[in-house]
Amino acid sequence: MTLPSYPVVRLKPKANARAIRHGFPWVYANELVTDRRTKALKPGTIAVLEDDARQPIGLVAVNPNSKIFCRMLERDLNVAVDEAWLIEKLRTALELRERLYDAPFYRLIHAEADGLPGVVVDRFGDTLVVQPNAAWADVLLEPMVDALERLTGARNIVMNGSGRARGLEGLTEETKVMRGAVDAPIPVEMNGATYIADVMGGQKTGLFYDQRPNHAFAARLAEGAQMLDVFSHVGGFGLAALAAGATHATCIDGSASALDLAEQGAVAMGMGDKLTTRKGDAFDTMTALKDEGAQFDLIVCDPPAFAPSKPSLEAGLRAYERVARLATPLVKPGGYLVLCSCSHAAEMSKFRGACVRGIGRAGGTAQLLHTGYAGADHPQMPQLAESGYLKALFFRLMP
């Protein structure tokens, strides 16, 4: 086999080549010698990365339009990045998920942690949703879809090209069916609940698999409970609580379509009469609930990323504190409050501090019972803090 001849990109002398050699997967634009030739490389080009002494480090995917100029693909220079390479990466990821889960409903590819930087693939039975959030994945999308179809036997494959990550890569937004057909939302059974995933028009890929273990832990607190699910999306925590014996769940979200899917899930479970939805701003609705004198045995707040980047960190931490402050008076004495963050910029100690301040400023005293993270189908890359983005804190508010 004749290996392709790759162009070369080179690190500046002050770049941290050691970190990259030790596994850090990204090279930022200000770390590279970006001459005219380098800047002219097409987004998605595969290149050899060298240090400033011209010693090769590995094969990278290049995107001159992104702050992340290079993403590491392979340390072995004697590898062709082609469909066979993709199949091997996908097979390795699939073997893990098949060991972990009895049914084909999970995150199949979790980007850098699975060796496919910027790529997310969620599996919904015989339907796959692919998010190619890096330029190289856009270029190789067809062979990637072929490899996924061949390896998993999926009949339907959707390309979801929406979201902030593609914008940062300079990529266009587009969602389309690439194989088969998707005519309706897909029911997903998880933790005893039935969720309805809209893989064509819902948020992200249609369902948040990452919270699966946290749904399960919250469900252990839910028997006999009146439960409030704030920022509920399609009822992730609320439906799991009902499945575990909650007497009633109220879901709050700003999206009418997401709440409609939550209601469909409850009906599919035979529990439509036990779910109430309230559309509106979560902060305003929690304030209104306090004015109404409402209280709940279990409250979960799972907001969107308030701190998606370092510049937004302080504002994000204030928002997390406000969530905790507004939720605390709504918890019955001895009840439970679960506070979540999907902001990688808000690392655990800062997020926990914001939550504790919010509880304290509302006059509450709490025990921290459990700290949760994403499920094992969302493995972390130890060298990349961003891959460990999800955090869930389970508090008991003392009587």
Determine the structural domain holding residue 291 and report its residue range: 186-397
Residues 172 and 201 both lie in one domain:
no
Q: Give yes or no: residues 104 and 66 share one domain.
A: no
Same structural domain for residues 154 and 267? no
Could you say which of 74, 99, 122 is where a domain stops?
74
For residues 217 and 248, membership in a common domain is answered with: yes
Final residue belonging to a domain, choices 136, 159, 179: 179
pLDDT at 4: 66
Residue 1 lies in a domain: no
Same domain, 283 and 334: yes
232, part of any domain: yes
Residue 3 falls inside a structural domain: no
Ranges of beta strands (E only) in the chain are 8-10, 26-28, 45-50, 56-62, 68-74, 105-110, 119-124, 127-132, 156-161, 174-179, 186-190, 193-197, 226-230, 248-253, 275-279, 296-301, 331-341, 366-372, 391-397
State which of 74, 109, 130 marks the end of a domain: 74
| Domain co-membership, 170 together with 201 | no
The CATH number of the domain holding residue 55 is 2.30.130.10
**pLDDT tens digit string along 75-116?**
999 899 999 999 999 999 999 999 999 999 999 999 999 999
Residue 294 belongs to a domain with what CATH number? 3.40.50.150
- Nearest CA to 122 out of 195, 66, 192, 220 is that of 195
Per-residue pLDDT of the chain (399 residues; tens, 9 = 90+): 445 689 999 999 989 999 999 999 999 999 999 889 999 999 999 999 999 999 999 999 999 999 999 999 999 998 999 999 999 999 999 999 999 999 999 999 999 999 999 999 999 999 999 999 999 999 999 999 999 999 999 999 999 988 888 988 999 999 999 999 999 999 999 999 999 999 998 788 899 999 999 999 999 999 999 999 999 999 999 999 999 999 999 999 999 999 999 999 999 999 999 999 999 999 999 999 999 999 999 999 999 999 988 999 999 999 999 999 999 999 999 999 999 999 999 999 999 999 999 999 999 999 999 999 999 999 999 999 889 899 999 999 999
Considering the domain architecture, whether residues 65 and 97 belong to the same structural domain is answered as no
Distance, C-alpha 29 to centroid of its chain: 25
Judgement on whether residues 90 and 237 belong to the same structural domain of the protein:
no
